């Protein structure tokens, strides 16, 4: 098993009035040359959690940090006009907290951060402050 010392939260950069099903996310990532979806988990708007990549397989979600991290992505992150925004539903918030809590039980030394919190990242992703919210 890989050593996990980081859990990185992302958004899919999907407008809140649109949907991005897991199959479409997978197709987009495969078209970029990835083996499968780059994140390990994908949180749907209804709170459903989809395993999109085995934890044993390094992710393709945070360049320079994939070897020892787990990537979680929630569907959303843009308002209806396409601006960065925390569009998480109440169910996504609950699912995210539960998922992160479970992962921290399994990997107690892991740190949790947003994609934007990584050095050199110039994005708003995941469009909320992970450190204060989780």
Q: Which of the residues 29, 39, 73, 74 is marked catalytic?
A: 39
Q: Is 125 a catalytic residue?
A: yes
What pLDDT digit, counting tens, does each position of 96-118 carry? 999 999 999 999 999 999 999 99
109 is catalytic: no
Per the annotation, the verdict on 115 as an active-site residue is: yes
Q: What average pLDDT does the segment 44-56 reach?
A: 97
Confidence of residue 59 (pLDDT cuts 50, 70, 90): very high
Catalytic position from the list 11, 61, 115, 127: 115
pLDDT tier at 71, thresholds 50, 70, 90? very high
Catalytic annotation present for 131: no
pLDDT at residue 1, as a whole number: 72
Among residues 11, 73, 125, 127, the one annotated as catalytic is 125
pLDDT for 2 equals 87
Q: pLDDT digit string (tens) for 23-42?
A: 999 999 999 999 899 999 99
Q: HEC string of the chain? A: CCCCCEEEEEECCEECCCCCCHHHHHHHHHHCCCCCCCCCEEECCCCCEEECCCCCCCCCCCCCCCCCEEEEEECCEECCCCCECCCCCHHHHHHHHHHHHHHHHHCCCCEEEEHHHCCCCCCCCCCCCHHHHC
pLDDT reported for residue 101: 98
- The structure's pTM equals 0.95
């Amino acid at each position: 098993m890989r050593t996990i010392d980081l859990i990185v939260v992302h958004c899919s950069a999907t407008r809140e009035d649109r949907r991005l099903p897991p199959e479409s996310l997978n197709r987009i990532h495969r078209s970029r040359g990835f083996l499968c979806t780059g994140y390990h988990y994908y949180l749907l708007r209804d709170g459903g959690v989809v395993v999109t990549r085995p934890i044993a397989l390094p992710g393709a979600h945070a360049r320079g940090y994939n070897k020892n991290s787990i990537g979680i992505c929630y569907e959303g992150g843009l308002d209806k006009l396409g601006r960065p925004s925390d569009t998480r539903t109440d169910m996504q918030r609950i699912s995210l907290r539960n998922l992160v809590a479970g992962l921290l039980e399994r990997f107690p030394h892991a740190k949790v951060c947003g994609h934007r919190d990584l050095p050199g990242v110039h994005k708003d992703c995941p469009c909320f402050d992970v450190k204060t919210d989780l």
